[in-house]
Amino acid sequence: MDDTLRELYQDVILDHSKHPRHFGKLVDATNTAQGHNPLCGDRVTMYLKVDASGRIADIAFEGKGCAISQASASLMTDMLVGRTVAEAEKLMGGFLHLVKGEDAGDLDPDDRERLDVMAGVSAFPMRVKCATLAWHTMKSALESGETAKTE
Amino acid sequence: MTAQSKISTAFDPVATRADFPILSKSIYGKPLVYFDNGASAQKPRQVLDAMRDFSATEYSNVHRGVHYLSGKATDRYEASRRTVQKFLGAAHEDEIVFTKGGTEAINLVAYSYLAPRIQPGDEIVLSVMEHHSNIVPWHFLRERNGAVLKWVDIREDGSLDIEAVDAAITAKTKLVAITHISNVLGTVTPLAEIVARAHAKGVPVLADGAQGAVHELVDVQALDVDFYTLTAHKLYGPTGIGALYGKRKHLKGMRPFNGGGEMIREVTRDVVTYADPPARFEAGTPPIIESVGLAAAIDYLNGLDRAAVRAHEHDLLTYAREGVRQFNWLRVIGDAPGKASILSFETEGMHAHDLATVLDREGVAVRAGHHCAQPLMERFGVASTTRASFGLYNTRAEVDVMLEALAKARKILV
């Protein structure tokens, strides 16, 4: 099998996509946002609970999409729970560079290792938007709760 | 293949492949299997050569200069119009308007023909399997003129019930806008019958022929259709040009679309008068080189036995349809009788985009997504499908490659 394909659809990714973490709704969400990829019709809704100290106390997401978008959303929610908004923003910035094959900047080595499972996407430019949909939606949820789009 | 079998077959797809330079390309080290013809078809050398030769020897702007090349280019541009006229079976050459594509052709009818005739509450009848290009221009009239869109559902197999179309046409209907062939399902609509039913109630019909002109032998006079649109790039021709067929009686009374050069009779500081059709609708420098390419594509198709091409494409569809039966995780969407060579399917546990990525690595180009037909996706309760659309140069051996790649994708993704 094609190595780049194996890297893209490695077991961690398929596991996340088949058994997404934090999948569902948050009834007491403080921030929500909807993301939409108009090219493929994929949609994601992100629910956040940010506490008084600016920490992401809980996250959930709902949506339908390809393995890449679902795995990316699942991985992201897993990594962002418990972090401050500022920490989350830094991680998101790093991820968005990483999937485009760019320098991800100064990330914590553990974070870097976890994000690296998504790095294979950079070999598939047509699929980068799948990987970033959830992250852009998260950004919208943190900022204003508006609809995010990846095009 | 022996010379003898070549003579005995009316159409030889393998021999035809040599005319399409891109088909010898490798993708990730695998031979290209191009099954995205519904989105855009590849171009034969004859089209590429015609455009290059024309550009190198006869090119100039049209309908403007008095010099030698201006005359040459104008002759070629107008000859292309006659080629399209004959291809569609139109009675008059001035019934063919060049546009930048099928989308613009429909927008032209919406703006120049229908919008001035719409009163709030007037209805436009369309099917749920329309491409967005035959939906959004009518939404514009809904938003701006108060038109009401009346949607005709299809049967579960993707076929269209003529009685359902008939029932949707009322005293308020101002136009029936319907596809000739669905770009997702491959359904061929009973166009002649739709036109007959609509005309019986005094309603004109526009047919979106983006796919129809490719797979069917179109005769607009026999169909008696009022407007028929086509685009060159799906017809093995270049991008950037399409055509609108409109009955003379309609075109004559239509207001201009874009304003600019070539579409006027006279311009003063106070008033402007417009040229007759088709010039009235062709403002600005038209796609001249592309018109030569479109004519070359039509000439190329006319040089083949088109009935045999159709039979070949149908054979590929049948072969692929039978082939995918082995996959119990695959559901074909659209099985209308007599459908064109377009196979859309949904796969359990695999998203169309993941599937298309794996197929791509095997050299197989398919389309994954909503195919600019979201109301249809909604009708079938799917977000997206994978679509293999076959062209004249495709072969059964290529279908086999796709079937193997589908099995492989299953192993990787599930």
Residue B74's φ and ψ, nearest 5 degrees, are -60, -40
The domain boundary, picked from B245, B269, B302, lies at: B302
Which class in CATH covers the domain with range A3-145? alpha beta
Q: For A73-130, how does the pLDDT look when each residue is reduced to its tens digit (9 = 90+)?
A: 999 999 999 999 999 999 999 999 999 999 888 889 999 999 999 998 999 998 999 9
- Confidence band, pLDDT 50/70/90 cuts, at residue A1: low
For residue B65, CA distances in Å to A118, B60, B62, B69, B70 come to: 59, 9, 7, 8, 5
In a domain, B197, yes or no: yes
Ramachandran bin of B146, using left for φ above 0, alpha for ψ from -120 to 50, beta for the remaining angles: left
Contact B413 A8 (CB under 8 A): no
Kindly state whether residues B209 and B68 are assigned to the same domain: yes
Q: How far is A143 from chain B (nearest CA, A)?
A: 28
Q: Find the CB nearest B357 among A43, A64, A127.
A: A127
User: How far apart, in whole angstroms, are the C-alpha atoms of residue B21 and residue B25?
Assistant: 8
DSSP 3-state assignment of B304?
Answer: coil
Retrieve residue A57's tokens. Answer: 């106390």
For residue B337, CA distances in Å to B92, B158, B202 come to: 34, 9, 29
For residue B364, CA distances in Å to B34, B289, B353, B393, B400 come to: 6, 31, 13, 14, 11
Report the CATH number at residue B377: 3.90.1150.10
Count Cβ atoms below 10 Å from residue A44 Cβ, excluding itself. 24
The DSSP code for B265 is: E
Contacts of A8 in chain B (CB under 8 A): 357
Retrieve residue B108's tokens. Answer: 């032209």
Kindly state whether residues B25 and B118 are assigned to the same domain: no
| Chain centroid, CA A75 distance in Å | 6
ipTM, interface predicted TM-score of the complex: 0.88
Best CA proximity match to B336, nearest among B155, B179, B153: B155
- Taking CB atoms and an 8 Å cut-off, how many pairs form between chains A and B? 51
Residue A66 has pLDDT above 80, yes or no: yes
DSSP 3-state assignment of B84?
Answer: helix
For residue B282, CA distances in Å to A54, B60, B136 come to: 60, 17, 22
The domain boundary, picked from B283, B302, B321, lies at: B302
User: How far apart, in whole angstroms, are the C-alpha atoms of residue B224 and residue B246?
Assistant: 11
In a domain, B36, yes or no: no
Q: Identify any residues that bridge with B388 across adjacent strands, giving them in sequence order.
A: B343
Kindly state whether residues B11 and B62 are assigned to the same domain: no
Number of domains in chain B: 2
Which residue do the tokens 């695998």 mark? B30
User: How far apart, in whole angstroms, are the C-alpha atoms of residue B34 and residue B23?
Assistant: 8
Residues with Cβ within 8 Å of residue B223, at least 6 apart in sequence: B191, B192, B195, B207
User: How would you write the pLDDT of chain B (414 residues) with one tens digit per residue?
Assistant: 344 444 445 899 999 999 999 999 999 999 999 999 999 999 999 999 999 999 999 999 998 778 999 999 999 999 999 999 999 999 999 999 999 999 999 999 999 999 999 999 999 999 999 999 999 999 999 999 999 999 999 999 999 999 999 999 999 999 999 999 999 999 999 999 999 999 999 999 999 999 999 999 999 999 999 999 999 999 999 999 999 999 999 999 999 999 999 899 999 999 999 999 999 999 999 999 999 999 999 999 999 999 999 999 999 999 999 999 999 999 999 999 999 999 999 999 999 999 999 999 999 999 999 999 999 999 999 988 999 999 999 999 999 999 999 999 999 998
In a domain, B327, yes or no: yes
DSSP 3-state assignment of B229?
Answer: strand
Kindly state whether residues B144 and B236 are assigned to the same domain: yes
Domain boundaries, chain A: 3-145
Contact B354 A67 (CB under 8 A): yes
In a domain, B84, yes or no: yes
Q: Please identify which of the residues B372, B377, B405, B406 carries the catalytic annotation.
A: B372
Kindly state whether residues B223 and B165 are assigned to the same domain: yes
| Dihedral of alpha carbons A21, A26, A30, A35, sign | positive
Count Cβ atoms below 10 Å from residue B28 Cβ, excluding itself. 12
Q: What is the 3-state secondary structure (H, E, C) of B131-172?
A: CHHHCHHHHHHHHHHCCEEEEECCCCCCCCCHHHHHHHCCCC
Kindly state whether residues B319 and B354 are assigned to the same domain: yes
The DSSP code for B258 is: S
The domain boundary, picked from B302, B337, B367, lies at: B302
Cβ neighbourhood burial of A95 (10 Å; 0-12, 13-18, 19+): buried
In a domain, B37, yes or no: no
Residues with Cβ within 8 Å of residue B19, at least 6 apart in sequence: B44, B45, B46, B300, B393
Q: Identify any residues that bridge with A56 across adjacent strands, giving them in sequence order.
A: A50
Verify whether residue B372 is a known catalytic residue.
Answer: yes
Quick check: B203 and B224 in contact, CB under 8 A?
no
Kindly state whether residues B378 and B340 are assigned to the same domain: yes
CB-based contact, A68 to chain B, within 8 Å = yes
Kindly state whether residues B147 and B292 are assigned to the same domain: yes
Kindly state whether residues B103 and B59 are assigned to the same domain: yes
Kindly state whether residues B69 and B203 are assigned to the same domain: yes
Kindly state whether residues B110 and B242 are assigned to the same domain: yes
Kindly state whether residues B278 and B392 are assigned to the same domain: no
DSSP 3-state assignment of B342?
Answer: strand
Contacts of A41 in chain B (CB under 8 A): 369-370, 374, 377, 383-384
Would you report the helix, strand and coil content of chain B in percent, each value rounded to 5? 45, 15, 35
Residue B298's φ and ψ, nearest 5 degrees, are -65, -40
Question: Which of A4, A5, A7, A15 should be substituted to probe chain B, the one whose Cβ sees the most B Cβ atoms within 10 Å?
Answer: A5
Report the CATH number at residue B88: 3.40.640.10
Residue B334, domain extent: 3-31+305-413
Quick check: B92 and B85 in contact, CB under 8 A?
yes
CB-based contact, A40 to chain B, within 8 Å = yes
Rounded to a whole number of angstroms, the CA Rg of chain B reads 22
